[in-house]
């Protein structure tokens, strides 16, 4: 989760994390959990993430996306 002082850095952090995941064969999939209020999802689609469905985590609703790293 990004703190307010890190807002705007999401894609920079995501690119670094995905580069790490893709270089490690032990990480075949990366998942993203986003709040349902999140409306700008084009970046996830552009990187190839696919919508899995709504999920509940610790009593909170999220939208789950999945990205194959291999």
pLDDT in tens, 2-57: 788 888 888 888 889 999 999 999 999 999 999 999 888 998 999 999 999 999 99
HSE toward the beta carbon, residue 62, CA cutoff 13 A? 15
Say which residues have a Cβ less than 8 Å from residue 10's Cβ, sequence separation at least 6: 2
Domain residues for the domain of 41 are: 4-68
What pLDDT, on the 0 to 100 scale, is given for residue 51?
96
Q: Do residues 28 and 61 lie in contact, with contact meaning Cβ atoms separated by under 8 Å?
A: no
What pLDDT, on the 0 to 100 scale, is given for residue 5?
86
Cα-only R_g, the chain: 13
What pLDDT, on the 0 to 100 scale, is given for residue 53?
97
Number of domains in the chain: 1
Residue 1 has pLDDT above 80, yes or no: no
């Amino acid at each position: 989760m990004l703190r307010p002082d890190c807002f705007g850095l999401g894609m920079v952090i995501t690119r670094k994390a995905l580069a790490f995941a893709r270089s490690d064969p032990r990480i075949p999939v990366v998942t993203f959990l986003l709040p349902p209020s999140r409306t700008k999802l084009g970046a996830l689609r552009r990187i190839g993430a696919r919508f899995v469905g709504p999920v509940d985590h610790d009593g909170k609703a999220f939208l789950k996306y999945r990205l194959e790293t291999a």
